[in-house]
């Protein structure tokens, strides 16, 4: 029999790196957190630049509030946030971020640089971070109002993760999905996505509309068949807005963009419900384009889910899904009957 292993506590840096690697599993996870920070900071224009699918370089520039220079010292430490003071606040949280973990996590697994300027400050400040801490004193410099965050060499110290993310092209696809989704949902905000040194891949104007942005991102074949849907239910404290393609459109893959309380999420049960409604109207194995924005009582949604837990949980799921189904069904029925009437006329 062998000797028992000696149990030792891992050092803090390693613990934090492991935790960070769980929160950020691929470049698009990091980008989603950074976009949400820019939106929280009331940005109206967000420019994203990417090298090698975000694995080498991921930069996001916004024109939001900026970060106060006196906060730059601690901004990348774990659990530092300007958005939450008491646990009780979690119940009513209206901003995306609340954990104060995104910047910290990124700084443990990448080279992170912040360049930021508030409107009240005479100059911008630049600071680089490693393992949650400033690498060197921050430096005053020139810069516009807002914040530019640069993430370089993501996973440089997480070898296993780096090896498992082999394809920059695939990572870029995920980045496109995240940027496209947020651009449609936040149509008043301008989004630009480009590869470093190349032409722009995606650009939506400031103060655009949902349909216009769907046209820009997904093409006119989808945009011209879109119908708005809307539903309020006071007993379930539910508001549903969105747009869905009518029965003239179908595609073998389909698209489902789901936002719950303005966070891009996934819900297998909502996905299935929507598919089951469309299956009566569309050819076999064909799918629709569906964008849904659900607003639920924050007390009924588990916002405290892990950032990579894309799959969201909420109370009264069955009743809410029934409402969504009947809303979509009646919309499809009404457009279908108009079509029949046209062909008969």
Contact 54, 31 (CB under 8 A): yes
Task: Say whether 56 sits in a helix, a strand or coil.
Answer: coil
What backbone torsions phi and psi does residue 326 show, to the nearest 5 degrees? -70, -30
63 forms part of the interface with Mg ion (CB under 5 A): no
CB of 106 to ligand ADP, least distance (A): 8
**Sign of the four-CA dihedral 264, 265, 266, 270:** negative
Pick the binder of Mg ion from 27, 53, 64, 97 (CB under 5 A). Answer: 97
Element (H, E) at 25: none
In whole angstroms, the minimum distance from the beta carbon of 169 to ligand ADP comes to 27
Q: What is the C-alpha to C-alpha distance for residues 127 and 148, in angstroms, rounded to an integer?
A: 11
CB 10, min distance to ligand ADP, A? 23
| 124 versus 274: smaller Cβ distance to ligand ADP | 124
Q: Least separation, in Å, of the C-beta of 142 and ligand ADP? A: 18
How many C-beta atoms lie closer than 10 Å to residue 15's C-beta?
12
Closer residue to Mg ion, CB minimum distance, 151 or 290 = 151
Please choose, out of 52-60, 93-101, 129-137, 317-325, the segment that lies near Mg ion by the rule CB under 5 A: 93-101
In the complex, the smallest distance separating the C-beta of residue 66 from Mg ion, rounded to whole angstroms, is 15
* Residues of span 32-51 touching Mg ion by CB under 5 A: 37
The crossing angle, in degrees rounded to 10, of helices 168-185 and 27-40 is 20
Rounded Cα–Cα distance for residues 301 and 314 (Å): 4
C-beta of 83 vs 325, nearer to ligand ADP? 83
Q: Give the residue with the Cβ less far from ligand ADP, 76 or 223.
A: 76
Whether the Cβ atoms of residue 230 and residue 244 lie closer than 8 Å to each other: no
Rounded least distance, CB 37 to Mg ion, Å: 4
**From Mg ion, ligand ADP, none, which one binds at residue 215 (CB under 5 to 8 Å depending on kind)?**
none
Question: Virtual CA dihedral for 294, 249, 178, 92, nearest 10 degrees?
Answer: 0
State the binding partner of 62 from ligand ADP, Mg ion, none, CB within 5 to 8 A by kind.
Answer: ligand ADP
Q: What is the 3-state secondary structure (H, E, C) of 69-98?
A: HHHCCCCCCCCCCCCCCCHHHHHHCCCCCC
- Site size for Mg ion (CB under 5 A): 3
Q: Name the site residues for ligand ADP (rule: CB under 6 A).
A: 33, 37-38, 41, 62, 64-67, 75, 80-83, 97-104, 147
Q: Contact positions toward Mg ion, by CB under 5 A?
A: 37, 97, 102
């Amino acid at each position: 029999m062998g000797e028992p292993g000696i149990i030792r506590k891992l050092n803090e840096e390693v613990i934090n790196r492991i935790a960070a690697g769980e929160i950020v599993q691929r470049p698009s996870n990091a980008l989603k957190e950074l976009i949400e920070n820019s939106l929280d900071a009331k940005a109206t224009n967000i420019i994203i630049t990417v090298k090698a699918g975000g694995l080498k370089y991921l930069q996001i520039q916004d024109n939001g509030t900026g970060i106060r220079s006196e906060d730059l010292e601690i901004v990348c430490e774990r659990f530092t946030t300007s958005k939450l003071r008491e646990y009780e606040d979690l119940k009513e949280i209206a901003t995306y971020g609340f954990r104060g973990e995104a910047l910290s996590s990124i700084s443990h697994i990448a080279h992170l640089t912040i360049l930021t300027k508030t409107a009240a400050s005479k100059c911008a400040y630049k600071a680089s971070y490693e393992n949650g801490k400033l690498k060197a004193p921050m430096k005053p410099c020139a810069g516009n109002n807002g914040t530019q965050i640069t993430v370089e060499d993501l996973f440089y110290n997480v070898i296993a993760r780096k090896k498992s993310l082999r394809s920059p092209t695939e990572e870029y696809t995920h980045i496109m999905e995240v940027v496209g989704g947020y651009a449609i949902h936040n149509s008043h905000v301008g989004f630009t996505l480009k590869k470093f040194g190349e032409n722009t891949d995606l650009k939506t104007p400031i103060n655009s509309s949902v349909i216009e942005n769907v046209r820009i991102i997904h093409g006119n074949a989808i945009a011209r068949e879109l119908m708005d849907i809307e539903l309020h239910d006071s007993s379930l404290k539910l508001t549903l807005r969105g747009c869905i393609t009518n029965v003239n459109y179908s595609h073998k893959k389909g698209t489902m963009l789901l936002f719950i309380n303005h966070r891009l999420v996934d819900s297998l049960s909502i996905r299935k419900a929507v598919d089951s409604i469309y299956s009566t109207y569309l050819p076999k194995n064909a799918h629709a384009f569906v964008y849904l924005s659900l607003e639920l009582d924050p007390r009924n949604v588990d916002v405290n889910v892990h950032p990579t837990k894309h799959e969201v949980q909420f109370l009264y799921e069955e009743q809410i899904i029934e409402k969504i189904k009947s809303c979509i069904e009646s919309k499809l029925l009404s457009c279908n009957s108009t079509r029949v009437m046209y062909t008969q006329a």
